[in-house]
Every structure is written in C-alpha cells, then in structure tokens.
C-alpha cells in the first residue's frame, strides 16, 4: 500500500513538474539540479542520471524530477550535467586545439588536402586475431586529446580484431611525403551502449590509445564544442569541412592522399523530407550536410571521420561521418552523428 501511494505521489509530482515547466529545446544548454552546466537530452542519453535511477530508484526518481528540462508526447528530457573528468596523467581536454596550418579549398568532388592541413585526422586500421600481417585501413577518426580518438561505432563491428591508429598522415602509401606519421596501438574502445548496427542510431565510439602522443605541427587535437553557445547551435547554413581517405566515387577506389571538401549543413526537417522514402532515423542525434545537386560528399572509407566547423581560425568537431545514400547523391545529404548531442558520452569516456 505504501509503495502504491509513493508511486502515485511521484507520478503526480512528475506531472506538476512537467506542466509548470518553462521548456527548453532538446540539445540546448541548461543548469542541472547540482548547479553544473548541462545539456537537455533524453534520460537514456544521460548515463549518470540513468544509472542513478536504476541503482537507487526512490532517490533517483527524485533527482530525475528535479532535472526535467523539456517534455513532449511520451518523451521527457532531463538536464544532464557536463562532467569534465580529471586525469592526473593525461590532459583530457587540451587547452590548445583546433588550429590548422593549411589553407582549405571548397571525398567526392573534393581536392587533395595540403600537408598538415588537418592535424587531428586519424586513419584507423585493423587486423584479425593474432595475425602478424599488415593492418588494413578501414575508417577515419579524430584526435580529441593526447590519448583519445572519436570515430563511428560502425567502424568497430569486426570481432576478434586489434586496431591501430595512424596520426599525422597525408599519403597512406607514401610515408616519405614529408608528413612523418606515427602508428599507435588502440588500447581499448567504447562503443555507444545504444548503438544500432541496422539503423546506425547512436553511431559513435571513442578509442583510447596505448600511450600519450606528442603534439606537433602534424599531430594536434581538434576542439570539442563544449562552450554553451556552440552546444546550442544547429549549424544550419554553415559550411563545415569533411576530410578522409575514402573512395572518390560510390564503390570506387579509395584515395591514398587525404581528401577534403566543404559541405553545407541542412536542417533536420529538410533531411527528413529527403529521406522520407528510406528507413533512416533523422532526429536530434544526427546532423545532415551536403549539396542539393550532389557531387561533393564523404564516401566509403571516410566513415568515422570529422565534420569540422571553423570559428575564425579554430576548428571544432561537430559531426562524425555515419551514413547516407551512396555518395554525393543529389537530394540526399550525408548523415553525421551530432557531436553536441554526444558530448556527455565522449567526455565521460575520456579516461
């Protein structure tokens, strides 16, 4: 009887909280119930609060009630604190980031990137089991600290393989091109717990390298968009860059030399219309970018690579190459995992 009364009280409290709420849009910044800066997300995307509710239901539900920041039909959003973990050995969020030494032109339809143009680019390679053969390059990634690389979850679907990351590379087949790349073994990795390999929802992962890398002109981290004004942006109408060693046409040969292209971000509403006839989930977890007439886009092999937005002379990681319709197809923009939505996942796994 007491539990029934308690449940009724909590439900009533939730209704009062929801209907008295001045709503905040999903992904917007907010202040958590602890006074910390946060982002308004679904509770399933807030690991700290979700785990608290699961482990301590009564207190957890109370914390959830005080964290509600928005609501919709069968969907309640909570203010999830952006917790920046500390690590005595590794500067997790480096104070200097996002600076490129290259000049960038406006990949399918893209151009060869200049040497050291994108110093945070990572080429991810794998080999099976205890095989002593060469690593096979398969995806891109982005250096975000001296020990962490962000990539797409679908890049890590092979079982019983080991991974390696090449940093500072320009031409993957010619290491004497002046780039002086380094290869670093992946010590461990975390795939988003709700990644769906069919729909490609929550298509993001983070790699931990087996050692800290030294920052140079050729190896340097990109910035994460943790500032409040960036977490609130949808970036629609901006022209970020995408880069990678992927195919230069659909099912074509991959490029040995790093390619780059600039693409416009389109609204999720337009993207939903473009993909209406396909089984693709377009929601707050993704960002869409591409030219209406096609011709320029990320392609096979670019998966996991960065969508990079310039703020004056500093570049921010705003998207991770995820999926789309073939490559550079007219009326089908590329689909990227939206980094501002996954900041908590990224930062909480930078250990």
User: Which residue intervals of the chain bear CATH 2.40.10.10?
Assistant: 119-222+344-348, 228-342
- pLDDT (tens digit per residue) in 154-203: 999 888 899 999 999 999 888 778 888 999 999 999 999 999 999 999 99
β-pair partners for 243: 260
Q: Indicate the pairing of strand 259-262 with strand 111-112.
A: antiparallel
pLDDT confidence bin for 78, thresholds 50/70/90: confident
Residue 279 makes CB contacts below 8 A (sequence gap 6+) with 199
pLDDT at position 13 is: 46
pLDDT confidence bin for 339, thresholds 50/70/90: very high
pLDDT at position 82 is: 66
pLDDT at position 7 is: 46
Q: Are 332 and 275 in contact (CB under 8 A)?
A: yes
pLDDT confidence bin for 67, thresholds 50/70/90: confident
If one compares 26 and 173, the residue with the highest pLDDT of the two is 173
If one compares 158 and 213, the residue with the highest pLDDT of the two is 213
| Burial label, 19 (beta-carbon count in 10 A; 0-12, 13-18, 19+) | exposed
Backbone phi and psi for residue 207, each to the nearest 5 degrees, phi listed first: -100, 140
Q: Is 134 a catalytic residue?
A: no
Q: Are 143 and 231 in contact (CB under 8 A)?
A: no
If one compares 26 and 34, the residue with the highest pLDDT of the two is 34
pLDDT at position 166 is: 97
52-56 CB contacts, 8 Å cutoff, 24+ apart: none
Q: How many angstroms separate the CA atoms of 272 and 287, rounded? A: 11
Q: How many angstroms separate the CA atoms of 191 and 207, rounded? A: 9
- Model pTM? 0.74
Q: Is 303 a catalytic residue?
A: yes
**Helix (H) and strand (E) counts in the chain:** 6, 18
Report whether pLDDT(9) > 50: no
pLDDT at position 329 is: 58
pLDDT at position 88 is: 38
Residue-wise DSSP of 102-152: S-----BT-EEPPTTSSTTEEEEEEEETT--S--EEEEEEEE-SSSEEEE-
pLDDT at position 288 is: 95
Q: Any idea which residue has 């050692």 for tokens?
A: 211
Q: Are 306 and 319 in contact (CB under 8 A)?
A: yes
Active-site residue (options: 148, 154, 192, 341): 154
pLDDT at position 34 is: 61
Residue among 213, 254, 240 at smallest CA distance from 309: 240
Backbone phi and psi for residue 11, each to the nearest 5 degrees, phi listed first: -65, -45
Span 124-146, average pLDDT = 88
Could you tell me which CATH class the domain 119-222+344-348 is placed in?
mainly beta
Right CATH for 228-342 from 2.40.10.10, 3.40.50.1110, 3.30.365.10, 1.20.120.450: 2.40.10.10
pLDDT at position 112 is: 86
Active-site residue (options: 303, 322, 325, 337): 303
Q: How many angstroms separate the CA atoms of 8 and 71, rounded? A: 20
Span 248-268, average pLDDT = 77
- pLDDT (tens digit per residue) in 274-305: 998 888 899 999 999 988 875 554 554 478 99
Q: How many angstroms separate the CA atoms of 53 and 64, rounded? A: 8
Domain 2-81 has CATH 3.40.50.150: no
Angle ∠(108,114,118) on CA atoms, nearest 5: 80
- pLDDT (tens digit per residue) in 110-122: 688 889 999 999 9
Span 55-70, average pLDDT = 72
Q: CA–CA distance from 312 to each of 55, 98, 173, 207, 306 (Å)?
A: 45, 11, 33, 29, 18
Report whether pLDDT(5) > 50: no
Residue 52 makes CB contacts below 8 A (sequence gap 6+) with 59, 60, 63
pLDDT at position 314 is: 93
Residue 108 makes CB contacts below 8 A (sequence gap 6+) with 247, 248, 249, 250, 261, 295, 296, 297, 298, 299, 327, 328
pLDDT at position 87 is: 41
pLDDT at position 70 is: 72
If one compares 244 and 3, the residue with the highest pLDDT of the two is 244
User: Which residue intervals of the chain bear CATH 3.30.1640.30?
Assistant: 2-81
Q: Is 203 a catalytic residue?
A: yes
If one compares 16 and 326, the residue with the highest pLDDT of the two is 326
Q: How many angstroms separate the CA atoms of 70 and 46, rounded? A: 14
Q: Is the dihedral of CA 187, 191, 197, 202 positive or negative?
A: negative
Mean pLDDT for all residues in the chain: 80
Alpha helices in 119-249 (DSSP H): 228-231
Q: Is the dihedral of CA 348, 22, 281, 300 positive or negative?
A: negative
Active-site residue (options: 45, 171, 203, 274): 203
- pLDDT (tens digit per residue) in 217-257: 999 999 999 988 899 899 999 999 999 887 544 445 667 88
Q: Any idea which residue has 């604190």 for tokens?
A: 81
């Amino acid at each position: 009887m007491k539990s029934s009364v308690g449940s009724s009280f909590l439900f009533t409290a939730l209704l009062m909280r929801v209907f008295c709420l001045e709503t905040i849009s999903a992904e917007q910044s907010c202040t958590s119930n602890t006074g910390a800066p946060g982002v308004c997300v679904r509770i399933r995307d807030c690991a700290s609060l979700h785990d608290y509710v699961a482990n301590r239901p009564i207190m957890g539900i109370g914390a959830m009630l005080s964290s509600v920041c928005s609501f919709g039909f069968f969907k309640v959003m909570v203010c999830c604190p952006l917790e920046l973990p500390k690590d005595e050995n590794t500067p997790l969020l480096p104070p200097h980031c996002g600076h490129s030494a290259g000049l960038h032109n406006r990949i399918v339809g893209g151009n060869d990137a200049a040497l050291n143009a994108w110093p945070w680019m990572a080429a991810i390679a794998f080999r099976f089991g205890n095989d002593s053969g060469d690593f096979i390059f398969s995806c891109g990634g982005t250096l975000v600290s001296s020990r962490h690389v962000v990539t797409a979850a679908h890049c890590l679907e092979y079982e019983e393989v080991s991974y390696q990351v090449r940093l500072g590379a320009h031409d993957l087949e010619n290491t004497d091109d002046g780039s002086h790349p380094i290869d670093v073994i992946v010590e461990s990795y975390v795939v988003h717990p709700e990644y769906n390999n069919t729909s490609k929802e929550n298509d993001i992962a983070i790699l931990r390298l087996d050692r800290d890398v030294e920052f140079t002109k050729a190896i340097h981290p990109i910035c994460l968009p943790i500032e409040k004004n960036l977490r609130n942006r949808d970036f629609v109408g901006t022209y970020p860059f995408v880069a990678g060693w992927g195919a230069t046409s659909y099912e074509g040969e991959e490029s040995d030399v790093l390619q780059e292209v600039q693409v416009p971000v389109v609204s999720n509403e337009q993207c939903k219309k473009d993909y209406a006839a396909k089984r693709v989930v377009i929601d707050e977890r993704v960002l869409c970018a591409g030219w209406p007439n096609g011709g320029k886009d990320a392609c096979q092999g670019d998966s996991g690579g960065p969508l990079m937005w310039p703020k004056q002379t500093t570049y921010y990681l705003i998207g991770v190459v995820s999926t789309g319709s073939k490559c550079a197809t007219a009326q089908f923009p590329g689909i990227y995992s939206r980094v501002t939505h996954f900041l908590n996942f990224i930062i909480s796994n930078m250990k």
